[in-house]
């Protein structure tokens, strides 16, 4: 599996393209739909996967889904976030029209891709992580030497703490692909989480 990563938009949210043979998945199309189309290249995208519904991770969602005629997946607890325009910086103020398919925790098979979805609320009520082929796409739940904030609309500190416990149970060797900044390895982040958050 090939992974293409590019930070996009005002908050430099990481957009990921997963490619296998001629198929691809798009994770968190945050901004600049033309950049995302360039990242997809000649592959055939099958779906958009959202780690959560915050504007910096979804701003190009409508354009991408319309351009490729593909579905998007988002946990139902975050569907309302797509419409909270008043809480967004001006560059992100636009109504979202894409009707996302609801995600549930468990296995998700899309074309050649086989993923495990973990519901990890805290940063938002519908935050999820996706595991596939040794990689863990964590959105804003955990980063390199940091965790997501919970003091925002539909965030919850206790939920985040429980989600961190869930992540601590995963394989140490997973490569963490966060929603912002650099990738890391879960083993190192477990040490950080246990020292500072648990």
Q: For each of the chain's 198 residues, which pLDDT tens digit applies?
A: 999 999 999 999 999 999 999 999 999 999 999 999 999 999 999 999 999 999 999 999 999 999 999 999 999 999 999 887 666 666 676 767 899 999 999 999 999 999 999 999 999 999 999 999 999 999 999 999 999 999 999 999 999 999 999 999 999 999 999 999 999 999 999 999 999 887
Please, what are the domains in the chain?
A: 2-196 (3.60.15.10)
Supply the pLDDT for residue 138: 98
What SS3 state is found at 79?
helix
Q: Which of 171, 170, 178, 172 is nearest to 123 (CA)?
A: 178
Question: Crossing angle of helices 61-68/33-40, nearest 10°?
Answer: 40
């Amino acid at each position: 599996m090939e992974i293409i990563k590019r930070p996009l938009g005002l908050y430099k949210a990481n957009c990921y393209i997963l490619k296998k043979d001629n198929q691809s998945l798009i994770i968190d199309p945050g901004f600049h739909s033309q950049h995302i189309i360039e990242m997809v290249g000649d592959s055939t995208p099958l779906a958009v996967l959202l780690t959560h519904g915050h504007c910096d991770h979804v701003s190009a969602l409508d354009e991408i889904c319309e351009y490729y005629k593909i579905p998007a997946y988002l946990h139902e607890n975050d569907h309302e976030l797509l419409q909270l325009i008043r809480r967004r910086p001006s560059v992100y103020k636009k109504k979202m029209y894409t009707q996302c398919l609801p995600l549930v925790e468990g296995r998700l098979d899309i074309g050649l891709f086989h993923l495990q979805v973990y519901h990890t609320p805290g940063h938002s009520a519908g935050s999820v992580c996706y595991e596939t082929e040794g990689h863990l796409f964590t959105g804003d739940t955990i980063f390199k030497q940091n965790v997501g904030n919970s003091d925002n609309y539909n965030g919850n500190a206790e939920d985040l703490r429980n989600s961190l416990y869930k992540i601590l149970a995963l394989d140490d060797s997973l490569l963490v692909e966060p929603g912002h900044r650099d990738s890391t390895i879960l083993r190192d982040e477990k040490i950080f989480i246990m020292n500072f958050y648990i």
